[in-house]
Amino acid sequence: MFWKSLSRFAILSLVLALLAPPALTAPRAGTYDYIIVGGGTAGSIIASRLSEDSTVSVLLIESGDSHEDIQDVVIPYNSARTFQTRLNWNFTTVPQPFLGNRTTIYRPGHVLGGSSTINGMTLNRGPASDWERIAAYTGDASFGWDNMLHYIKKNEGFINPPNTLEFNNSYDDNVHGFNADRIGNSLITDDSWISEPILAAASELGINRVRDVNGGMPVGISWQQFTIKNGVRSSAANEYLNRETLASRPNLTVLLNTLVLRLLAARNNPLRFDTIEYRDAMGGTFTQRASREVILSAGVMNTPIILMRSGLGPRAHLEANNITTILDIPAVGKNLQDRCGASIVWQVNATDTDDVIDRDSESTVYNRWLEQWNRNHTGRLTQLGYRQMIFGRVPMNASIFSTMQDPSSGLTCPHYELFPANKWTDPYSPLPAKGNFVSMNIFVSATNVLGRVSLDPLNALSGGPVIDPKYLSSEWDRLVMREAIRTSVQFFNATPWRRWGATPVFDTSVLDDDAELDKWIRSIAFGGVHGVGTARMGSATSPPGQDVLTPDFKVKGVSGLRVVDNSVIPFIINGHTMGATSPSFVPTPLQCAHNPFYLFTSTYGELCEVQRRRSEPPPHLELLIALHRCDVWDQLTNLRTPVDDLRAYNSDLAGRIVEVSKRLQTFGLTENKPGIIDAPFSEKVSAEDEARTHLALAHQWEELLSSARAIPGFELDPRCCPIDMI
């Protein structure tokens, strides 16, 4: 999973687009080292990381606009106001038979930062078993939960709630990172009335209390966590591509409002893709070349479309759309997995629901909270209408298990998700002019439905994707939705809700008959939230008919091209995909891929600094020894992934590197000897012997690195990298 050809660079992309008028964001003459197609959650992070190396040129192309200075983006409560605006792609699915032949809207972000800029900010990594299943499927243990958690924490800025005494059982420090310059993660810790009946009802129904929803075992009820930092949305764009960062990256070019149409092969190699063809905001069509790699991060719907337009996809489908097949990859566009949802509502006698904010007739309430938010980023608008979430499973004795295997990744993996909201959330019915409401938002998690994304036969070369998620087309998904709805009704029928007069605003008689319940579900269900799989990653040896990518995110059968976004995830994460790709702080495959690589190469840069200083004459032996005592050696030996990659090419060389690094680690952990100049002669001799041994090991290390760099794909950059980057 080590990104061999990307070496020490890391990712970023917005620079001139935010700081200058559009004319200044035109691509420069010549080639770029890396071109990133799509400035979403993954693309923003990749561009930021890669451009940290000032000698590496990066071009990031985003079809949407800037995320800056849009109030509904930065105010957490206003996230729903971005739906069906220019900030969304607003794709429409084909009619769905099990949704009453209705179409549904699919709303991935169409703005810098992608969906991390406009989503509901819920951060959920999914169960540990999901990650173990991905590791098993790809044959790459680096995707396993323990390894993933290590790198997830390095890219997280968790914020402890201020009232820690009250919330001390609602999160676990051990599964979080506290890095202030990374995507934030926090709990909503206000004193809302709704938390008490929610927690009490869960207790009455015997729902297990989960300490931390992101601890790897989410089944039960827990406090939600959100990508909110200091009262403001924390997205991939504003953490990795903020104005300050962009101003310091002359090697990064960001093109906004620019649509990539397809990828083109190199002139002398039809199986190497090094050029993009794009259309700018004025309608002109241009090309741009990458000398190292093109990284496709266009999202679960657009990535397979770009691949197919480029001649990489199912031969029959390409030929039907008059596209020359360069490589037949049947899996492109297939294996789409998404979560189907529904929202049902109860009226309550509480007066402090968020409905008062949402009603246009009561905009004075909203304006009062807006004034407070503008003043100091506090108050009601720093929150959303939900605080807890429930992950549940179909009972183990359900009759369906006698004829069908459980499609989830294990007993700690949820089948459905529920989160109660302090407001009306039914997307198909307007908020009534009067009254106060609570809702239950429901999602099928462990789906076994596989949909498809294909080219538009009327406009294959520049039209949008044809999306068929096949929502609720399996008996399993329909059973899970029924189970989740019935559990929701039991939840609001619990004793704690009687005080609040919880009354359903729907006909509960449909619950008595599966056929009637299915009929009602077809009228209220929706989709378009957490799609994955349309450029699925598999093992290094699986055929392209089964998978599209190798575990290092390379497109099978071609060179110069990687894919890094939700489309690569082989199985839907039974949480929220930003917690898996986000760079979003991205505990997604994106971060899985570049973080081990980034840490390894940063470590290597520090070793180069030690080598450089070694060539300077030290004042005495004590300094000479101290210069080589660096805990970087210890970090290196803990990085399994690069060594595993190298071992696949040359096991003997990898073994020698491990051996030398361990011996160097011993020197790095040895305590300095004070006053060596005035020490007895025997101690001076001992210190000199130690220094000579260390120098010999350092020379061996240089030789081993030279041997490793001679292997294609392991060309490490010998420049220095500060220790605080590790």
Average pLDDT over residues 342-371: 91
Residue 563: partners with Cβ closer than 8 Å, 6 or more residues away: 295, 296, 297, 303, 307, 535, 548, 549, 553, 555
Backbone angles phi and psi of 47, in degrees to 5: -60, -40
pLDDT above 90 (res 483): yes
Q: Cα 487 to chain center, whole Å?
A: 30
The kind and range of the H/E element at 129 are helix 128-138
pLDDT above 50 (res 671): no
The pLDDT score that the predictor gives to residue 698 is: 75
The pLDDT score that the predictor gives to residue 724 is: 32
CA distance 378 to 231: 6
CA distance 75 to 371: 12
CA distance 111 to 66: 6
The pLDDT score that the predictor gives to residue 322 is: 97
Residues 102-122: tens digit of each pLDDT? 999 999 999 999 999 999 999
Q: What is the dihedral of CA 616, 618, 621, 625, to 10 degrees?
A: -50
The pLDDT score that the predictor gives to residue 697 is: 74
Nearest to 716 by CA among 10, 35, 4: 4
Helix 640-649 crosses helix 651-669 at what angle (to 10 degrees)? 150
pLDDT above 90 (res 669): no
Backbone angles phi and psi of 663, in degrees to 5: -70, -40
Residues 544-562: tens digit of each pLDDT? 789 999 999 999 999 999 9
> What percentage of the chain reaches a pLDDT higher than 70?
78
CA distance 35 to 295: 6
The pLDDT score that the predictor gives to residue 687 is: 62
Sort strands 183-185 and 156-158 into parallel, antiparallel or unpaired: parallel
Residue 576: partners with Cβ closer than 8 Å, 6 or more residues away: 122, 123, 124, 126, 530
CA distance 38 to 256: 10
Nearest to 521 by CA among 102, 98, 93, 97: 98
The pLDDT score that the predictor gives to residue 162 is: 72
User: What is the reported pTM?
Assistant: 0.79
CA distance 702 to 168: 49
Q: Name the pLDDT band for 625 (thresholds 50, 70, 90).
A: very low
Residue 672: partners with Cβ closer than 8 Å, 6 or more residues away: 622, 625, 626, 629
Q: Are 142 and 122 in contact (CB under 8 A)?
A: no
Q: Name the pLDDT band for 17 (thresholds 50, 70, 90).
A: very low
pLDDT above 70 (res 376): yes
Mean residue pLDDT across the chain: 83
Kindly provide the residue ranges of all beta strands, DSSP E only, lying in 560-632, ordered along the sequence: 561-563
In this structure, how many other beta carbons lie within 10 angstroms of the beta carbon of residue 71? 11
Of 7-11, 398-402, 616-620, 639-643, highest mean pLDDT? 398-402
Residues 178-205: tens digit of each pLDDT? 988 888 899 876 678 999 999 999 999 9
Residues 205-245: tens digit of each pLDDT? 999 999 999 999 999 999 999 999 999 999 999 999 999 98
In this structure, how many other beta carbons lie within 10 angstroms of the beta carbon of residue 161? 16
pLDDT above 90 (res 666): no
pLDDT above 90 (res 91): yes
The pLDDT score that the predictor gives to residue 715 is: 45
Nearest to 334 by CA among 188, 144, 494, 466: 466
The pLDDT score that the predictor gives to residue 160 is: 82
| Long-range own/partner contacts, residues 656-663 (CB < 8 A, 24 or more apart) | 656/700, 656/704, 657/704, 657/708, 660/697, 660/700, 660/701, 660/704, 661/633, 661/636, 661/637, 661/701, 662/633, 662/637, 663/697
Backbone angles phi and psi of 92, in degrees to 5: -115, 130
- CB burial of 414-431 (b: ≥16 within 10 Å; e: otherwise) equals bbbbbbbbbbbbbeeeeb
CA distance 214 to 128: 9
Q: Are 437 and 346 in contact (CB under 8 A)?
A: yes
Nearest to 236 by CA among 589, 595, 583: 583
CA distance 453 to 305: 8
The pLDDT score that the predictor gives to residue 582 is: 46
Helices (H) and strands (E) in the chain, counts: 21, 24
C-alpha distances in Å from residue 703, one per residue of 653, 657, 696: 11, 10, 11
Average pLDDT over residues 31-60: 95
Q: Are 380 and 77 in contact (CB under 8 A)?
A: yes
The pLDDT score that the predictor gives to residue 222 is: 94
Lowest-confidence pick of 32-36, 104-108, 417-421, 498-502: 104-108
In this structure, how many other beta carbons lie within 10 angstroms of the beta carbon of residue 519? 12
Average pLDDT over residues 302-326: 98
Q: Cα 711 to chain center, whole Å?
A: 31
Residues 159-176: tens digit of each pLDDT? 987 765 455 568 899 999
